[in-house]
Structure formats: structure tokens, C-alpha cells
Amino acid sequence: MLKKQFKCLYVIVRRLVIPVLAATLIFLVVLSSIKDPSIISNGAFGLRILKAKSLSTENLIENILYSSLQPPPGRSIFFHETSCTSPDAVSNIMTLTARQACSIESAALNNPNFQIFTVFSCPTFRPLVGRQKLLVDAIESYENVNLRHLNLRNYAMNTSIEDWVKRDDLFTSNYPVHHTSDLLRLISLYRFGGIYLDMDIIVLTSLEKLPLNYVGAESIDTLCSAVIGLTADGIGHEVADLFLQQYQKYFNGKNYVQNGPTLVTAVLLKFCGTSLMKAMEGGRKSCKGFRIFNSTAFYSIHWQEWRHFTEPKYLEETMARTKDSLMIHMWNKLSSGERIKVTSNTAYVKYAEKHCPRTYAAAGDYF
């Protein structure tokens, strides 16, 4: 009887315990082979990263620092997509909205001699099916569109903010996605010069002949950081470094605008040595060669009026107010929840039809 019980126990161990031990051993081997510590430290999100890493590397976009095509200094337009820095991100498989794709396409369409870089803040794979693939195919049909990813610590190397980034203070922010974007745009402009644009901008004209070293005001006393153009050397490089120094010195993870508009305004007020109004009126001569555009250039429609882009009743007024603008800004933090039917008679749709036609065709029923 005892012998029979031992035999049953042996069978149970062989069938249950040994497979578990084998699976554990395999897991430990895989874990030890992982080179990216973020996969281990990010828990469930890290496992999603690992799952995506198991996809074919053919669909993994290149790292911007090691890609064959580097951003031409002062001749590139940058967009930064930073949602995968959030612990709540679904995965690092590319998820662009139709409005983001429209922003990218409008830059590429109107600036064929510039390289357009959309940079994701972690390793990212192209979507293989569905609406996402249609949108990505639409923007990548332009020869000057480049999709890249980066590693934040590596990207900050050899800049004045390198040591600060290593402390991970950024990830204590209440707004990690937005504050990461605030930082990455400054590093990109420090490294390469060129133009940074938010992903809710529609470019309405060519920027290729517009001299760099500029930002735009959203009001008479506040600058906005959604559009920044800097040279790769000279005062552009100097201002980029001042931005980075200000970012780490006055970083505030509890204030949404502290590391963006507030930072840009503070640095340029000091740099120019005059009021924003005088800098706008006096042109480059009043700000050491730097230009402060008035609100007409980029922000004709104030953030409190964002519905002017999405509601038909404001169409004529909005088109009239933006007729001399170089770009329009959708104020995505406020407008992202508003679905815009592609057949609606709205200012956004009118501009999208003209300035991102391939995205418009791929968007489906709504932007």
C-alpha cells in the first residue's frame, strides 16, 4: 500500500512540479538575457515591451542616434510621441491618431526639402493591420518622413542635462508624458537644430525659407512651446542650452506648463532683455537676432476658443482669422475628446483636406 502511495506521489511530481520547474528555469534564462533593464523594472508594462520585442525586427523603427540617415542640422522638423513613457501605456506598438498623422503629413507636404522625424520615446514597432497601418502607410508614402525611436538616457548624453536625467526626477512628474515631451524637444533642438512642432499642429505653408531662431506668442505676455525653431549653432544652440539649464533648475512635476510655455517665456525674456511686446514689435533687432512672432503666426485661435476648429458655426470666422497664419494649433489637451467627422463643414476639416490629403483619405469617418 505504501509503495503504491509513493508511486502516485511520484507521478504527481513528474506531471506537475517538473514542468513548473522547467518553465521557471526557462523564464530565468530569458530574463538573464534581457539587455534592456526597463523591461524588468517596469513590471507588467515591461512584459508588454518584451512581447513587442518578440515581433519581427523588420517592423522595429530605427534608433535616431544610430540610423543611417541622421537629421540634417537645421533642416529637419521634429515631432515627439511620448505616450510609451507612461506606465499606463498599452504597448509600444505604434498608435498614431489621424490628427497626429495629419500633422506629420502637413509638415512633409509643405516642406519637401526638409527631413521630417517623428520620434517615439521607446522602441516602437510599425502596426501590421487595421486603420493604424493605413495611417502609417499614408505618411510614409512621403520620401522625407522618417519614423525613429530613442532611449532618453542615451539621447541626453553629452548635453548639460545628462546627469539630471540619470536621477529619474522626470518620472516623479504628475504629467510624465507631457513633461517628457517638453524635455525631448529641447534635446532634439540642442543636438540638431531645426524645428520642433507639437503633434496637433497643421502646417499651412513652407517653412524652408523662414530663418530659424524663433518662437511664437500665444498672448501679449506668454510664449508657447508648441513651435520652436533654432539653428544648430550660434544663438540657436546657445538658447537651446539655456532651455535645458532652465528645465533642470526649475523642473516642477506638479505644474503642467512650468516646463514648457513658462520655461520658454522666462528664458527668452532674460535673453532678449526686453518685454515680449517690444520683442514682437521690434523684430530680431530687439532680441539679439531671435524672433518672437505674434499670435497670428501660430496661435491665431486662442486655447479658450479651440471649438472654433471643430464646430461648423465658426467656419467663416476661423478661416478669416487664420488666413495669414503659418500654422494652426489644435490645443489637443482640450480638443482631443472631440471627434470631428471628416465630412463636417469645419475649419479643421477644410485645412486637413488641403494639407494632409492622404491622411484625410485614410482617416475613416472621424479625425
Q: Name the pLDDT band for 175 (thresholds 50, 70, 90).
A: very high
Residue 254 scores a pLDDT above 70: yes
Residue 144 scores a pLDDT above 90: yes
Report the sign of the C-alpha dihedral through residues 180, 186, 191, 193, in that order.
Answer: positive
Closest CA to 277 of 264, 262, 294, 265: 294
Report the sign of the C-alpha dihedral through residues 28, 32, 38, 39, in that order.
Answer: negative
Residue 126 CB coordination number (10 Å):
17
**pTM (two decimals):** 0.84
pLDDT at residue 92, rounded to an integer: 83
φ, ψ of residue 97 to 5 degrees: the values are -80, 165
Is the CB of residue 98 less than 8 Å from the CB of residue 157?
A: no
pLDDT at residue 84, rounded to an integer: 86
Higher pLDDT residue, 16 or 41?
16
Residues 186-197 have pLDDT tens digits of 999 999 999 999
Residue 291 scores a pLDDT above 80: yes
